[in-house]
Structure 1
Amino acid sequence: MISEQELKLLEIFVKKHVLNKLEIKSILNENGGSVISSLLEKGLITKVSLLGETTYAITQKGRKYFEEITQ
């Protein structure tokens, strides 16, 4: 089971596929770090480093999980 904030962020990942830390912080305010950590731990998103910038992308598991819980 995931929290409301995790679900909100996962929904945005489904639409955008990739988000950077600034985008995530603007969406979740101060709770961004713990939500990211939780989604990473569950394997629903993954960390990607491009040219020194850390970004996060939804995984196939994350997309499938989102589709299952929103049907």
Structure 2
Amino acid sequence: MPAIAETTIDALERVGTALADPTRRRILLVLLDGPAYPADLADALGLGRTNISNHLACLRGCGLVR
């Protein structure tokens, strides 16, 4: 079995951390219906825009959203 690159392991850890949070999972479920502005996500999930923006930054950082 070939060795797994450290960068691959790091990327998987970031994705795992992102998906471990229930709010980020809820954001991803809403985004399955299509793109949405942070304000729309905040309204849909009953959360503040700053909170949503912080979660989106995490999801962007690991490549789950653009």
Question: If the length of structure 2 is used for normalisation, what is the TM-score?
Answer: 0.59
Q: 1:28 to 1:40 in 2, by over 3 A?
A: farther
Identical columns (%):
11
Distance 1:5 1:38 in 2: 11
The alignment partner of 1:45 has SS state of coil
Bigger-Rg structure (1/2): 2
RMSD of the TM alignment (CA)? 1.3
The alignment partner of 2:53 has SS state of helix
Trace 1:7-22 onto structure 2 (pairs within 5 A). Answer: 7-14=25-32, 16-22=33-39
Q: Measure how far apart 1:4 and its partner are.
A: 0.4
The answer to whether the Cα contact below 8 Å between 2:30 and 2:41 also exists between their aligned partners in 1 is no
Question: If the length of structure 1 is used for normalisation, what is the TM-score?
Answer: 0.56
